[in-house]
């Protein structure tokens, strides 16, 4: 593995951990992005500011990374749009069904030693691996 990529990933993981910890310490809230985004417009006014700032920080953080390093992930132009739409709907359904997303369960829940989050993360990973195998070997999309 390229050492530059390794250190960038390590720094990114550390920043995610710090952000999740600070949010929990300062607000008592879990940094589950789907919950934060999903309740941005459907909650009391006083609860919107921290949600908006957290989501803005995600977007700005990606922008800072791009300006600093000049390389952003490249989208696969040949990937079928219909498959992306289906994937988006399934991810949204799974997030709702699982009462959280990978950031809520995988980062914050595992950090709090939640058994429910351990089960959810195992299901996320298993489903993701199975989906990648089907998309690649059944649909032939790379």
Check pLDDT > 80 for residue 49: yes
Cα 103 from Cα 109, distance rounded (Å): 8
Mean pLDDT over 117-124 rounds to 91
| The two structure tokens encoding residue 71 | 């390389």
Check pLDDT > 90 for residue 118: yes
Cα 40 from Cα 56, distance rounded (Å): 12
Backbone angles phi, psi at 31, to 5 degrees: -85, 55
- Find how far residue 3's CA is from the centre of its chain: 24
User: 56 falls in which pLDDT band (50, 70, 90)?
Assistant: very high
Compute CA distances 55 → 50, 117, 136, whole Å: 9, 22, 32
Cα 65 from Cα 2, distance rounded (Å): 18
The reported pLDDT for the residue numbered 1 is 62
3-state secondary structure of 113: coil
Share of the chain above pLDDT 90, in %: 17
% helix / strand / coil in the chain, to the nearest 5?
75, 0, 25
- The sign of the dihedral angle between the CA atoms of 73, 58, 103, 99 is negative
């Amino acid at each position: 593995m390229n050492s530059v990529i390794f250190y960038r990933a390590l720094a990114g993981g550390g920043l995610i951990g710090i952000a999740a910890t600070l949010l929990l310490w300062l607000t008592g809230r879990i940094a589950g992005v789907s919950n934060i985004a999903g309740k941005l417009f459907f909650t009391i006014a006083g609860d919107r500011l921290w949600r908006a700032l957290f989501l803005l920080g995600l977007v700005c953080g990606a922008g800072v990374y791009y300006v600093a390093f000049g390389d952003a992930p490249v989208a696969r132009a040949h990937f079928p749009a219909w498959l992306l739409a289906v994937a988006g709907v399934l991810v949204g359904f799974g997030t709702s069904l699982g009462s959280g997303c990978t950031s809520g369960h995988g980062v914050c829940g595992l950090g709090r030693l939640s058994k429910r989050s351990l089960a959810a993360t195992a299901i996320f990973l298993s489903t993701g691996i199975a989906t990648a195998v089907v998309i690649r070997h059944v649909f032939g999309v790379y």
